[in-house]
Amino acid sequence: MAKSKFLLIFILGLLAALGPFSIDMYLPGFKAIAKDLHTDVANVSLSLSSFFIGISAGQLLYGPLLDKFGRKKPLYFGLVLYITSSLGCLFVTSIDQLIVLRFVQAMGSCATAVASVAMVRDLFTVKESPKVFASLMLVIAVSPMLAPTAGSYFITTMGWPSVFVFLSFMALVMLVLSIWKLPESYKPDPNYSLKPKPIIGNFLVVIKEPSFYTYALVSAITFSGLFAYVSSSPIVFMDIYQVSETGYGWIFALLSVFFIGFSQVNSYILRWFTSKQIINWALMAQAIVSILFLVAALNNWLNLYTTVSFIALFLACLGFINPNASALALAPFSKNAGSASALMGALQMGLGALASALISVFAADAVWPMPAVMTMAALIALCCLFIGNSQIKSNAVNNP
């Protein structure tokens, strides 16, 4: 039983990691892509923004499909779409083609993201969910720890298109594992309507739940700080601090250890503290770290090592926030778990796209845009938490 449970969590983690892997692995290749497609790094970064937009919009599509047809059929469709578009990236001749194909690739990968989160809600109890989400993060850790480093070696030895060959193969392995080893965790509902009005109605039911909008917003807004770091990291480390492509990959891997490591520490802390208590303290700590990071950046007090240190602290706090917020946001739902999962994912990726766009607007030769967006994210999330907690308490009093 323990062995089968481990395999299940491992497969769900792989599915959840496909999107992050697709983001992280090609980051060291921005300069090479810009050179081959006769453009600049700023335009190449638009392919990252299009990926965020695609994975955000696509999750709203897959949520209802998962509730209508079960978890596995939409998952298969998404993986096939991902493989096809990834192979298409091998033949692009312009940056516009890459931007469009990255959008389609994201539409495929978001099926894996929504399905994995919904299946955690299907297969595990509310009490187990935070620990399972932390375990998923342990598998997802392979992405930021290995993807940029592996990507840098692929790019330097075989060229940037080899990254998309690897991603296609990775998705194919996931498709095989999903077919043979992943159970159908939700019985298809033939009465579930895919017409716009009922779908919007289901989303509204989810949105009106105070626990969902509070913790989904906290999770998504703080996660946008992560995307601000991811989007600006090639410029900050490779252009400003003159780190090599391989060195960039290793820094990215090191920083991911803090995010994933503290998400695992969170599993142990849950023995003594509730998810709500952990989120409160972690979010306040993240706000303080972000403000100090911004002040240091604006006063030119930063170097490579202090910049890495501040990012590490920010990601450590996120490691406490994200698994607890995800579990609390989905806790009230069983029937609409797919829609709830899709909305939460869409919020995360939509705000991630916004954070990425904000970074691209600012100066490309400065560090401060990164901590500026991180600080905004932490402070807004803190406000949402305080306001949302009062709504949750009020709702509990009115609906005992």
Mean pLDDT of the chain: 82
CA distances to 23, 27, 261, 292, 335 from 83, in Å: 15, 19, 31, 43, 30
pLDDT of residue 175: 92
**Structural domains of the chain, count:** 1
**Considering the domain boundaries, does residue 283 fall inside one?**
yes
Q: How far is CA 374 from the centre of its chain?
A: 15
pLDDT of residue 340: 77
pLDDT of residue 1: 42
- Look at 322 and 139; give whichever has higher pLDDT: 322
CATH code where residue 384 lies? 1.20.1250.20
**Considering the domain boundaries, does residue 55 fall inside one?**
yes
**Considering the domain boundaries, does residue 189 fall inside one?**
no
**Considering the domain boundaries, does residue 187 fall inside one?**
no
**Considering the domain boundaries, does residue 56 fall inside one?**
yes
The average pLDDT across 353-375 equals 79
Q: Which residue range is the domain that position 161 belongs to?
A: 2-182+194-394
Q: What is the pTM of this model?
A: 0.70
Q: How far apart are CA 155 and CA 165, in angstroms?
A: 12
* Torsion 5-9-14-16 (CA) sign: positive
The average pLDDT across 254-265 equals 80
pLDDT of residue 67: 73
**Considering the domain boundaries, does residue 116 fall inside one?**
yes
**Considering the domain boundaries, does residue 400 fall inside one?**
no
Q: Which of 52-61, 159-168, 192-201, 311-320 has the lowest mean pLDDT?
A: 192-201
pLDDT tens-digit readout, 31-53: 889 889 998 877 887 888 788 78
pLDDT of residue 379: 93
pLDDT tens-digit readout, 81-128: 999 999 999 999 999 999 999 999 999 988 888 788 778 777 776 666
- Look at 226 and 394; give whichever has higher pLDDT: 226
Evaluate if residue 199 carries a pLDDT over 90.
no
Q: How far is CA 258 from the centre of its chain?
A: 16
* Torsion 60-63-69-72 (CA) sign: positive
pLDDT-based confidence at residue 139 (cuts at 50, 70, 90): low
**What residue type is 159 in one-letter code?**
G
pLDDT tens-digit readout, 54-80: 877 787 777 777 777 777 888 899 999
**Considering the domain boundaries, does residue 399 fall inside one?**
no
For the CA atoms of the chain, what is the radius of gyration?
20
DSSP 280-341: HHHHHHHHHHHHHHHHHHHTT---HHHHHHHHHHHHHHHHHHHHHHHHHHHTT-STTHHHHH
